[in-house]
Each structure stands twice: as C-alpha cells, then as structure tokens.
Amino acid sequence: MAQEVLFHVSPSFADAFSCKAGECRHSCCKGWEIDIDEVSLSRYRQLSGAWRERMNAAICEDETGAHFILTAEDACPFLRQDGLCDLILAFGEDALCDICALHPRFYELIGPFELAGLGLSCEAVCELLLSGEGELLFSCEETGETFSLSVLLSRLGFLPEDASLSFAPARDLAAMLTRLEGTEAIDALWPLELARIRRDLAAHPVSLSVSPRYDRIFSYLLYRVLEEIPRWGLAVVQAYARDAVSFIALQDALYGKEAETLRRWSEQIEYSTENIPYLLSCLKSQNASGFLP
C-alpha cells in the first residue's frame, strides 16, 4: 500500500518561477515529443469548426497513445513564431494537455515526503536558481519550516543528524569527462561539445574552486536524484552531483555562460532515462574498487 504523503517539500525559489514564453531561447515546445493524455485528447476531439480540423491534423495516435505531430523544425504545431502558444491564446491555460501544464515541474515520493521541484532543462529555472544567493533552502508546506538539504537528508534517514554536505570539485576532470563521453547523446552536438571541452582543458588546465554558488547548484542537483540513494548509496549519488557541478564549473571557467551550461547539462543528462543510471553505475563500480574520485 502506498504511504500517505504527510509533507510537501519544494525549493524556496520555486514560487518565483514564471515561464519566459516568447522570451525563451530554448522553448520546451521544441525538440521534445508531446504526448497527449486521454482527458485532453477527448476535449481536443470535441472542438468544432476550423479548430476541429486544425486539431485533428495536429494529432496522431499509435499503439503508444496520442501525440502532437511536430513540425519540420521539430516544434509543437501550436507554437507561434513569436514563441507564444496558439492553444493558450485561443482557449486559456486550461486548454493545455497534462504534460504541457506540468512542465517543467517534477514530483518525487520518498516515504511520507513529496519532493517537488522545477527541471533545469528550462532556462528560466536555471536563471532563477543562479540568481539566488546563500545556501539553497527548501520549504515544507505543512510545517512552514525552511531547511537545508542536509537537514532534509537526515529527516529522510540518508544522513546522520548534524552532518552536512557541500560541493568539493572532482579531482580528476579528465576522468569526469570520460564518464560523460559514455552517455547517450541527445543530439549530434553533444559529442562535439565534449571534444571541445577536453581539448580546451588540455590547452588551459583549470583548477576549480569551491563557492556558495556551486554549493547551491550541488544541493539542487542532489535534491533532484534523492530517490536514487536507496539503490546506489549516498556516496555514489553525491559523486554524481559533484561530477555535474564540476562539469558546469569547468565550462564556466573556460567559457562563462553558467546558466546555459547548466541547462544544456540537464537536457542531456537529467532528461534521459538512460544517462543518470549509466553515470551512477560508472561511479558505483569505481566506488566498489575503492576509486571513487
């Protein structure tokens, strides 16, 4: 029987989120499959007149369900040139199917906790996370408390009370890049980007530093994968977040553009069903051989 949710937790910055809509340079209405849930599908099929024809032409149904047929530019058929959504403009936000209404939010259940957050493949979320200062805090809806990730981890039983976590850069950046090179590429650019970083790192050796800013990113990336701790162990999941922040910090040192490197890393790793377990399994075997970097 599923455990009752007693505590709803979310990062304190989440309330300030708002979609950049037409200002967004990496719209989530492009480059992703858009599945349509059954309730929305039945609503869409009930439209009349010109909208009925347009909607029917925009939907395909196959054995996996209904989807919007993407345009030649890989975009949602209702995405306008100005970045706005024709469905919202015509019928309001309630017209969105579940996946569009939910994105970029995520929810994870661990014991009596529901952990909510906003995915970093959205540039507005990256900017929001990086615009904050100081320790990243989380809020509990029921108790009104705010607390650090370490406190949350100890309440989840993953960390002893009074212990704390902070970012320490990967010691071997070349090995960290090797792990990323083994991931499934989301597009043809990813291997080229990695090759460029490897080349530039060899030409300009970088020594990463610690900073409260990297601690914030580290806390959030770790928060996103807390459900992996029972399977892989805290040391391995922590090493995964440490690798990710090191990768972002490395690119920041080489090229700047921290928010965009964070968004790009998230799109490649966090939104792939294969890449997170792949990286965790690499780190797990290194941990088993006593070589967790």
Task: Point out which span in 42-50, 74-82, 116-124, 163-171 binds ligand SF4 (CB under 6 A).
Answer: 116-124
**124 is a site residue for ligand SF4 (CB under 6 A):** yes
Strand order across the 65-68 sheet: 35-36, 65-68, 59-62
Residues binding ligand SF4: number (CB under 6 A): 11
Q: Which of 5, 7, 8, 24 binds ligand SF4 (CB under 6 A)?
A: 24
**262 is a site residue for ligand SF4 (CB under 6 A):** no
Task: Give the count of beta carbons closer than 10 Å to the beta carbon of residue 59.
Answer: 16
Are the CB atoms for 279 and 228 separated by under 8 Å? no
**266 is a site residue for ligand SF4 (CB under 6 A):** no
Task: Point out which span in 17-25, 52-60, 63-71, 178-186 binds ligand SF4 (CB under 6 A).
Answer: 17-25
Are the CB atoms for 125 and 104 separated by under 8 Å? yes
Distances from the Cα of 38 to the Cα of 42, 100, 285, angstroms: 6, 14, 42
Handedness of CA 247, 263, 237, 147 (dihedral sign): positive
**28 is a site residue for ligand SF4 (CB under 6 A):** yes
**104 is a site residue for ligand SF4 (CB under 6 A):** yes
**140 is a site residue for ligand SF4 (CB under 6 A):** no
Query: How far is it, in rounded angstroms, from Cα 277 to Cα 228?
Result: 9
Are the CB atoms for 37 and 97 separated by under 8 Å? yes
Distances from the Cα of 190 to the Cα of 57, 123, 176, 195, 242, angstroms: 33, 18, 15, 9, 20
Q: What is the DSSP string of 14-40?
A: GGG----GGG-SS-TTBSS--EE-HHH
**97 is a site residue for ligand SF4 (CB under 6 A):** no
**27 is a site residue for ligand SF4 (CB under 6 A):** yes
**99 is a site residue for ligand SF4 (CB under 6 A):** no
Q: Which of 20, 43, 54, 105 binds ligand SF4 (CB under 6 A)?
A: 20
Are the CB atoms for 122 and 263 separated by under 8 Å? yes
Shortest distance, position 101 Cβ to ligand SF4, whole Å = 11
Residues 207-236, interacting with ligand SF4 (CB under 6 A): none
Task: Point out which span in 73-81, 117-125, 185-193, 281-289 binds ligand SF4 (CB under 6 A).
Answer: 117-125
Q: Which of 122, 153, 221, 269 binds ligand SF4 (CB under 6 A)?
A: 122
Contacting residues toward ligand SF4, per CB under 6 A: 19-20, 24, 26-28, 103-104, 122-124
